[in-house]
Structure 1
Amino acid sequence: MKTNNKNTILITGGASGIGYEFAKQLCETNTVIITGRNKQKLEKAKEELKNIHIFECDMSSAKDIKALYEIISYEFPELNILINNAGIMKKIDLQKESNYEILTEEITTNLNGTIFMSTLFLPLLKKQKQASIINITSALGFVPLAASPIYCASKAALQSFTKSLRIQLKNTNINVYDIAPSVTKTAITDQFSNEELKKMKIMTTTTLVNSSLKEINKGTKDIGIGETNALKMLNRISPSFALNMINKV
């Protein structure tokens, strides 16, 4: 897949963080549609970037996703790239938290929302000559950070889903990509203390997206950025050491 060939691209969670950086780097030569829950952030992104179209959509809401599909399929029938980026991460103490909504919110948004987006948009993507689904997972899908247990579980499950989706679509026009970043400077990292952040190797969204697009253009399907590939290798050699190392940080 070539990301500079006048594609029509839909990015969930595109008003900030990783999604915004994808929109910024892709909007010069493509038509880019971004979604988000915050109307003000969406409007700000539209003012700052070229060829941007915005739609409010909550990835935890099946109703919102269905409405989004109806609008996009009508207004942008040439859509050929879906980037499932929207996600949330929380620090949760499982010994103290028992609220169902809090315990399942990350699964609903990060996993269920991406699964529903990916499957609902398949008919539209199949109409194109060539199409792609790009799921943003995480290095923490390979080795969990215990302080954010539900987030890590959601990303591990999303990696599994992405592999199955790729196999099921192998005889179609749709390529399926998994981008697994290590710690990236976004609003998610704001919940960690300065002391915790000093122990992490944090990359910028610019670095992440630059590297990801290069790999996509080369045809790489499973893309580890930052420390991800080293962590995967360490986890294969010594899972217990990798787990202890992540959780010392």
Structure 2
Amino acid sequence: MKKSGNTIILTGGGSGIGREMARQWHDWGNTVIIAGRTMESLRETAEGRENIHCLELDVGDPASIAQFVKAVMADFPAANVLVNNAGIMIYEDVTGARDLTDAENTVTINLLGPIRVIDALVDHLAAQKDAAIVNVTSGLAFVPMPKAATYCATKAALHSYTLSLRARLEGKIEVIEVAPPGVQTELTPGQSEREEYMPLDAFITETMAQFEAAETPEEVLTQQVRFLRDAEAEGRFDEAFAMLKSR
């Protein structure tokens, strides 16, 4: 993925990782369209940056996706990069029968959302020069944390989907996966204060440096996430899973 001169669509741009990635890409000389459900948060991301543009989008709603894509095509026909970053993480008790609303919403937003947005844009992107799709998954795609069972399952599924996309879109659209470790954001309540999580600024620095390389890696990983990403290959899966079971 080239460093500058892109027109980037980024979902979940109102806070955390999405906010800081959007700002960095803007400052490198890209036009960035950030999307989310809360316009106030999006405007905070865009403040002082004239080439960050805000559009409302609920990735859990197919009608909202259709309306969003129509608006993007009308106002930003040069869009050549899609970053699927929007997601939710909810802790859940799977030990008994329960209301499955949270689980169903997690699947809809974290998995069906990116699939639907990609589907709506893939033909357009394939016709653009220097096209790319960036899917944000998680270290928990590789070793799950049981108290967030559905979240981890959706990220594992998105990792798998990304592999298939890369194979099928080879030569047409570059497909990149960003798999963060636990990062100090408000993805879950109090997460931004947890000392064992990676500071957001450190994550952004290490992650975005890889987008500056002559060739962006297929998997953009920090050193901190490799404990999970490489656990199975290095014979440490049981150790890593035991650690996450205790959280």
**TM-score scaled by length of structure 2:** 0.92
Moved more, 235-244 or 12-21: 235-244
Equivalent residues of 1:179, 1:225 under 8 A apart: no
Which residue of 1 is the match for residue 243 of structure 2? 245
Equivalent residues of 2:183, 2:192 under 8 A apart: no
For 1:207-218, what aligned pairs fall within 5 Å after superposition?
Answer: 207-218=202-213
SS of match in other structure, 2:5: coil
SS of match in other structure, 2:41: helix
SS of match in other structure, 2:13: coil
For 1:95-244, what aligned pairs fall within 5 Å after superposition?
Answer: 95-96=95-96, 98-172=98-172, 174-191=173-190, 197-198=194-195, 200=196, 202-218=197-213, 219=215, 220-236=217-233, 237-244=235-242
The whole-number CA distance in structure 2 between the counterparts of 1:165 and 1:81 is 14
Unaligned runs of 5+ in 2: none
Q: Which has the higher helix share?
A: 1
Question: CA shift at 1:179, angstroms?
Answer: 0.5
SS of match in other structure, 1:235: coil
How many corresponding residue pairs? 243
Unaligned runs of 5+ in 1: none
Per-residue displacement from partner, 1:65-122 (whole Å, max 9, x unpaired)?
A: 1111111111111001111000000010112562232221111001100111112111
| Structure 1 ranges of 4+ moved more than 4 A | 191-194
The whole-number CA distance in structure 2 between the counterparts of 1:193 and 1:122 is 34
Question: CA shift at 1:190, angstroms?
Answer: 2.3
**TM-score scaled by length of structure 1:** 0.91
Quick one: structure 1 residues 171 and 45, their matched pair in 2 at CA, closer, same or farther if it must change by over 3 Å?
closer
Question: CA shift at 1:233, angstroms?
Answer: 2.4
Question: CA shift at 1:181, angstroms?
Answer: 0.7
Moved more, 127-136 or 236-245: 236-245
The whole-number CA distance in structure 1 between the counterparts of 2:74 and 2:181 is 36
Question: CA shift at 1:213, angstroms?
Answer: 2.4
SS of match in other structure, 2:47: helix
SS of match in other structure, 2:221: strand
Quick one: structure 1 residues 93 and 26, their matched pair in 2 at CA, closer, same or farther if it must change by over 3 Å?
same
Equivalent residues of 2:110, 2:154 under 8 A apart: yes
